[in-house]
Amino acid sequence: MKLKKRKYIDNRNWKAYNEELVLRGVYYINPEFLYLWNDEIKKMNAGKIGEPYLYPDSMIRFLAVLHCKGNDFRTLEGMMRGIRDISPYEFPIIDYSQICRRFNKLEISFEVMEEDMKDYLEAGVDGSGEKSTKRGGWMREKWKIRKGWIKVVIMGVKGKKGKYVIDIRVGNEDIDERAIGRTMATKNQKHIGVLYEDGLHDCVDTFNLCKKYGIATAIKIRENASLTTRGCSARKEEIVIFKSMPYEEWSREKNYGQR
């Protein structure tokens, strides 16, 4: 007897999802540096010894986003020419070689926004991997050499102005995503009200950490999870809740889709 496939029902809020996709374009093309240029340069050059800065960091960050989307440095120089031609502001054009130097020296920090400092935020942790190179296929087949992976673990939050990243860790395929998740939760525990994580983080150490700091959890429990306490009553409570209802209902109750 053939089992009937359960029909998939898409319950996404298409209006909200469409707006999220549109806002990506605002993130990619947001030349706010044009309005901040003079004030930012004054701050950057305050007390500086040697040749003063001519181009603000906000412009380099703007170009860095476009570079990460596949545009080379010469193309970025051309983009700046185009922006100057249509802009009411007069500013010098940066050379592609200087874009490269400033890009490599750019300091990136991830932190909770000032307006969210006093709130307990919904936070999510997730990891992803990417091949370190697309070359070397012949060597892998011939010599059985395994390619390495670059692994990225990100913690994001939902604040008053939307969702943004507050912590990020990068390493090879050997990094322990669960341990990294606990490290990020410890660092940002003052700002976290609820922590969303996938089934990989279903372990005693993670639940004990959340209990220690009073963080509510929305962690997917493994199907074969045992009700044995094993030194973690918080995890047992979550297992009882998880097994008391269908997964879809649990997901709605925990607002797990936020992750």
Q: pLDDT digit string (tens) for 98-157?
A: 999 999 998 877 888 878 887 888 999 998 887 766 666 666 677 776 667 788 999 999
Sorted by where each begins, the domain ranges of the chain are 14-105, 114-258
- Alpha-helix residue ranges (DSSP H) falling in the chain: 14-28, 33-45, 57-68, 73-86, 96-105, 137-143, 177-187, 204-213, 233-243, 247-254
Would you call 249 helix, strand, or coil by DSSP?
Answer: helix
Angle subtended at Cα 192 by Cα 186 and Cα 198, rounded to the nearest 5 degrees: 80
Written as six digits, the tokens of 139 are 């060597």
Residues of the chain where predicted confidence (pLDDT) is lower than 50: none
Query: What pLDDT, on a 0 to 100 scale, did the predictor assign at position 226?
Result: 82
- Does this model's pTM top 0.85? My answer is no
d(CA 154, CA 223): 25
| The listed CATH number (3.30.70, 3.30.420, 2.40.128, 2.60.120) that belongs to domain 114-258 | 3.30.420
For residue 69, the model assigns a pLDDT of 84
Which strands, in side-by-side order, build the sheet including 149-159? 162-172, 149-159, 121-131, 192-197, 216-219
Q: Look up residue 4 and give its amino acid.
A: K
